[in-house]
Amino acid sequence: ERPSAAASGRDPLELLEHVFGYRAFRGPQQAIIESLVDGRDALVLMPTGGGKSLCYQIPALLRDGVGIVVSPLIALMQDQVEALRQLGVRAAFLNSSLEAREAFEVESQLLDGALDLLYVAPERLLTGRFLDLLEQAPIALFAIDEAHCVSQWGHDFRPEYRQLDVLHERWPAVPRIALTATADPRTREEIAERLGLRDAERFVSSFDRPNIRYRVEAKQNGRKQLLGFLDRHRGESGIVYCLSRKGVEATAEMLVGEGLNALPYHAGMPANERALNQRRFLREDGIVMVATIAFGMGIDKPDVRFVAHMNLPKSVEGYYQETGRAGRDGEAAEAWLCYGLQDVVLLSQMIQQGEAGDERKRIERGKLDALLGFAESTRCRRALLLGAFGEPFEGPCGNCDNCLEPPRTWDATAAAQQALSCVYRSGQRFGVAHLIDILRGSESDKLRQYGHDQLSTFGIGRDIDANRWRSLFRQLLAAGLLEVDAEGYGGLHLTAAARPLLRGEARFEARFEEVRRGRPGRDGAR
């Protein structure tokens, strides 16, 4: 039987050095540790890679009893426990991957006081049997990892997380720490509320990831653009996110065909294949993981050099989380988003046709709008991202596309008026492709069939090419002057905000969509 690693010192810094091999605490780590050691609750908001684990691992070693860590991620549990054991920490985990006999063994260790840290899945923790077992063991602290899983508005929602307030009821004297890298203020409040952490001390780190370069590009030929992007990252590890399973498979196949080391990952694949691909991504160099957002939560690979999005993510928080998997080692990394109007239409429809109630749909719609605003903005991307989390940052950051190559703008007032009146005159139910056909005066049967070749807006926008029109429509959507129909097929209608422009009382400044042709050199990612 190994003695507890805690025996090597009773001081946080000493443990940090002797057990974990680090010289100094990062950011708020020390304050958080002291708070828990003193028996106070803590709510920790720290970006991915910030060093959340030590915040409960060290106090668990310093306090009497075992630290109970609630984690929804089975794969991650295993990795953490292995790493801890190598450091001489007496750690174990309990989840559905264990055989009954192995689980029994861990439970005996728990009762014998032979554990410093025990990782447990929420559904197991919440069983009456396990809670009764816990009554018989001295507990150092409860750590609730990925605490945003308590939020039913997030995409990681875990209903069991909502019952975790039982910990406070049954062990009021045991300090609790909730940790998350999800920063939006709304989720923050929900965590505090749901987990009974209103009075917990809050530790909010800066969410800036200065080494990540943000870029957003309008989609024209997605495949070609992706290949151009990957060209800048030859031989590097990275993730390419697609919206659908089909998109994942097609993209992975295409990349393999181009000679790239790409692997697919989505929830529809057999579990063993998925696990294999994930393991290869973690252990091998230079793999491009093509995945849905099912991939990534809890992935701790420090040298992910890029995260590409081939579709619009669902929210700014999601985008931040997903791109946050790049550059955890602090070295230069790139987050690249390539999106088109079709994404907006598709996501709008997914929301409208989803099962969620009206209130939730309204929130999801708002999140999508915010992300669209981010994508179309000419402001510093970093300032926009951090602003969404309530963190003041003026910019320019010097490390995003808008700062590096300030977008040119043009006075699009007249064109915007034409676009809006075209929407109005055609009955506010047609999609962008059809509207552009009207504006550019295309000869098509569909147009004639609807009599749209007779409209006063027919052909008035011939001098503007289709790409420029698409870009303008996106910007009108982002500015909230147009909306995608709730039901139906991507039709657009005007909002009240369009009125001043139509009446000639407002101007509309639009960004020029630069078509990036050349392939920038390697220093482009510095």
Residue ranges in 283-322 that form contacts with Zn ion under rule CB under 5 A: none
Cα 457 to Cα 151, 442, 454, 467, 472: the distances in Å are 47, 12, 8, 18, 16
Binding mask 362-391 vs Zn ion (x if CB under 5 A, - otherwise)?
------------------x-x---------
Residue ranges in 400-459 that form contacts with Zn ion under rule CB under 5 A: 400, 403
Q: Name the minimum Å distance from CB 32 to ligand ADP.
A: 11
Residue ranges in 299-328 that form contacts with ligand ADP under rule CB under 6 A: 300
Residue with Cβ nearer ligand ADP (43 or 54)? 54
- Residue 513, SS3 per DSSP: coil
E-only strand ranges, 329-416: 333-339, 409-411
Q: Name the minimum Å distance from CB 20 to ligand ADP.
A: 7
Identify the residue whose tokens are 């077992």: 133
**Alpha-carbon torsion (274, 276, 278, 284), positive or negative:** negative
Choose the binding region for ligand ADP from 45-53, 195-203, 305-313, 486-494 (rule: CB under 6 A).
45-53
Residue with Cβ nearer Zn ion (15 or 212)? 212
Amino acid at 344: V
Measured distance CA(237)–CA(284) in Å, rounded? 9
Does residue 183 belong to the site contacting Zn ion (CB under 5 A)?
no
Identify the residue whose tokens are 């991507």: 490
Structure tokens at 366: 């708002």
- CA 397 to chain centroid, in Å, comes to 21
- Cα Rg for the chain, rounded, in angstroms? 26
Residue 474 contact, options Zn ion, ligand ADP, none, Cβ 5-8 Å cut-off depending on partner type = none
Partnered with residue 212 across adjacent β-strands are: 333
Residue 26 contact, options ligand ADP, Zn ion, none, Cβ 5-8 Å cut-off depending on partner type = ligand ADP
Residue with Cβ nearer ligand ADP (22 or 130)? 22
Q: Name the minimum Å distance from CB 26 to ligand ADP.
A: 4
Q: Name the minimum Å distance from CB 93 to ligand ADP.
A: 16
Residue 397 contact, options Zn ion, ligand ADP, none, Cβ 5-8 Å cut-off depending on partner type = Zn ion
* Helix H or strand E encompassing 511: strand 509-511
Q: Which of 397, 472, 477, 478 binds Zn ion (CB under 5 A)?
A: 397
Choose the binding region for ligand ADP from 42-50, 262-270, 374-382, 457-465 (rule: CB under 6 A).
42-50
Cα 110 to Cα 40, 119, 120, 123, 124: the distances in Å are 23, 11, 12, 18, 15
Binding mask 271-300 vs ligand ADP (x if CB under 6 A, - otherwise)?
-----------------------------x
Structure tokens at 386: 């951090």
Q: Which of 25, 93, 161, 473 binds ligand ADP (CB under 6 A)?
A: 25
Residue nearest to ligand ADP (CB): 51
Q: Which of 31, 18, 24 is nearest to 59 (CA)?
A: 31
- CA 335 to chain centroid, in Å, comes to 12
Binding mask 48-67 vs ligand ADP (x if CB under 6 A, - otherwise)?
xxxxxxx-------------
Q: Which of 93, 87, 119 is nearest to 105 (CA)?
A: 93
Instruction: Return the exposure string of 361-372: e unless at least 16 CB atoms fall within 10 Å of the residue's CB, then b.
Output: bebbbebbbbbb
**Contact (CB, 8 A) for 482 and 502:** no
Q: Name the minimum Å distance from CB 49 to ligand ADP.
A: 5
Choose the binding region for ligand ADP from 21-29, 91-99, 152-160, 426-434 (rule: CB under 6 A).
21-29
Q: Name the minimum Å distance from CB 234 to ligand ADP.
A: 26
Q: Which of 469, 370, 457, 466 is nearest to 412 (CA)?
A: 469
Q: Which residues bind ligand ADP (CB under 6 A)?
A: 22, 25-26, 29, 46, 48-54, 300
Q: Which residues bind Zn ion (CB under 5 A)?
A: 380, 382, 396-397, 400, 403
